[in-house]
């Protein structure tokens, strides 16, 4: 009887550490990216939401939003406005580069 009497599918799993070439091939075949292409727009949106939330909290006492429903609606409105403004500003600031040569 041969030394390796295990079936082929078990022989492949016997070695727990993958070879560096196997790691590189797995990375090349993986369609997921570590960072999405629009990460700058996402960061801009998060900053805009934070700024709108801060403005809503600072202007809350002057707008008399101390009660639950007016305060909650103000916060929800600030989040929506921050998302819209952040997407708009992020898309304007970080446009994708065109592949055309300059004129």
Q: Is residue 82 part of a domain?
A: yes
- Tens-digit pLDDT profile for residues 2-24: 555 555 555 555 555 655 666 65
Q: Is residue 54 part of a domain?
A: yes
Q: Is residue 78 part of a domain?
A: yes
* Res. 103: pLDDT tops 80: no
Cα-based torsion angle of the residue sequence 92, 93, 96, 99 in order, rounded to the nearest 10 degrees = 100
* Res. 31: pLDDT tops 80: no
Residue 68 sits in which domain range? 37-93
Q: Is residue 58 part of a domain?
A: yes
Judge if pTM exceeds 0.85.
no
**Please, what is the average pLDDT of the chain?**
77
Q: Is residue 79 part of a domain?
A: yes
Overall number of domains in the chain: 1
Percentage, residues of the chain above pLDDT 90: 35
Distances, alpha carbon 7 to alpha carbons 2, 3, 15, 69, 97, in Å = 12, 12, 14, 67, 52
């Amino acid at each position: 009887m041969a030394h390796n009497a295990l079936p082929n599918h078990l022989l492949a799993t016997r070695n727990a550490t993958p070879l560096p070439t196997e790691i590189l091939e797995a990375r090349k075949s993986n369609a997921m990216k570590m960072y999405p292409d629009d990460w700058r727009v996402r960061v801009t949106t998060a900053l805009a939401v934070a700024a709108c939330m801060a403005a809503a909290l600072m202007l809350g006492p002057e707008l008399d939003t101390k009660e639950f429903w007016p305060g909650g609606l103000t916060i929800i409105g600030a989040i929506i406005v921050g998302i819209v403004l952040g997407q708009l500003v992020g898309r304007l600031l970080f446009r994708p580069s065109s592949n055309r040569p300059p004129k």
